[in-house]
Amino acid sequence: MGLAPVWRLRRGRAAQAGTVAPPPAAATASREQQILRLDWDSLQSRVAGCTDCKLRASCSQTVFGVGDARAEWMLVGEAPGAEEDRLGEPFVGQAGKLLDNMLAAIGLRRGDNVYIGNVLKCRPPGNRNPEPAEVAACSPYLLRQIELIQPKLILAMGRFAAQTLLSTEATIASLRGALHGYAGVPLIVTYHPAYLLRNLPDKAKAWADLRFAVRTMEGLR
Ligand code: URA
């Protein structure tokens, strides 16, 4: 009872001064702002129902990511391929087998303190390169995943993930071996497992990257 007159008075003054009460935040927030407010479950649902770029029309399903949503390690690849599109999980084809072996070599296992995701949640037709509009549409989802997981370290796998997350056109060779950052999270660049399947000699470099990542993680704990 006692507060009501004060509230009315304030409203009255605002109206007199010509100010208009702002509409509710949700009504004015951009698409990206809305995504960056979602909790984990809502984010998953939003991705599952996303038709904001043309990729959803040609893929079988969205591939959100897999693993421990409180993981210290976050691995980011490019986009689902044929097997991932079929099964709804990232890195389940040949490249995924190599990735699992790479993780095992540093004492990690898919789903155990590791989260694996991609820049794009939908498979580009014929595994073509992602287009800028597709990356722009999908990037807020990855950013929100990272914000919610709060990994200690991101491993960007391959040119596409590295260049997208670091907003650069620099080569993998020039980005390897240094500590970068994305969204406030330390980030290390390494080769994509699919590339390593075609370029076996570079496995030694990837192994060096993994050891660098382990040392970095030890320093971050
Ligand atoms: N390549 C990627 O970049 N991501 C996958 O999920 C599978 C293959």
Predicted confidence band at 214 (pLDDT cuts at 50, 70, 90)? very high
Ligand 1 atom nearest 193 alpha carbon: 1
For the chain, give the mean pLDDT.
91
pLDDT value of residue 3? 35
Q: pLDDT at residue 4 above 60?
A: no
Of 165, 172, 166, 178, which Cα lies nearest the Cα of 191? Answer: 172
Residue 17 has pLDDT above 70, yes or no: no
Atom of ligand 1 nearest to the CA of 84: 6
The closest-lying atom of ligand 1 relative to the alpha carbon of residue 83 is 7
| Domain residue limits at 76 | 21-220
Segment 187-216 shows an average pLDDT of: 98
Q: Which of 140, 30, 157 is nearest to 99 (CA)?
A: 157
- In total, how many domains does the chain have? 1
Indicate the pLDDT class of residue 194, thresholds 50, 70 and 90.
very high
Residue 26 has pLDDT above 50, yes or no: yes
% residues pLDDT > 90 (the chain): 87
The answer to whether 73 and 152 have CB atoms below 8 angstroms apart is: yes
Residue 195: count of CB within 10 angstroms of its CB = 16
Q: pLDDT exceeding 70 applies to what percent of the chain? A: 88
Residue 204 lies in a domain: yes
Lowest mean pLDDT among 3-12, 93-102, 123-132: 3-12
CA of 216 to the centre of ligand 1 (A): 24
For the cut 80, the answer to whether the pLDDT of residue 11 exceeds it is no
Burial class (CB in 10 A: 0-12, 13-18, 19+), 77: buried
Residue 97 CA to ligand 1 centre (angstroms): 11
Q: Separation of 133 CA from ligand 1 center, angstroms?
A: 19
Answer yes or no: is pLDDT of 141 > 60. Answer: yes
Does the residue 10 lie in any domain? Answer: no
pLDDT tens sequence across 53-94: 999 999 999 999 999 999 999 999 999 999 999 999 999 999
Confidence of residue 23 (pLDDT cuts 50, 70, 90): low
- Secondary structure element (H or E) that encloses residue 147, with its range: helix 132-149
The length of the chain in residues reads: 221
Cα of 39 vs centre of ligand 1, distance in Å, is 25
The verdict on residue 13 lying in a domain is no
CATH code (residue 216): 3.40.470.10
Q: In sequence order, what E strands does the chain have?
A: 66-67, 73-77, 114-118, 153-157, 180-182, 185-190
Residue 116 alpha carbon, nearest atom of ligand 1: 6
Probe residue for ligand 1, chosen from 84, 122, 128, 145 as the CB with the greatest number of ligand atoms within 8 Å: 84
Structure token pair of residue 202: 């570079």
Residues with CB under 6 A from ligand 1: 77-81, 84, 90-91, 95, 118, 194
Mean pLDDT across the stretch 167-190? 98
Residue 178 CA to ligand 1 centre (angstroms): 23
For 96, phi then psi, to 5°, come to -65, -35
3 is a domain residue: no
Residue 11 within a domain:
no
What confidence tier does 28 reach under pLDDT thresholds 50, 70, 90?
confident
Tell me how far the alpha carbon of residue 118 lies from the centroid of ligand 1, in angstroms. 7
The yes-or-no verdict on residue 133 having pLDDT over 50 is yes
Mean pLDDT, range 147-157, rounded to an integer: 98
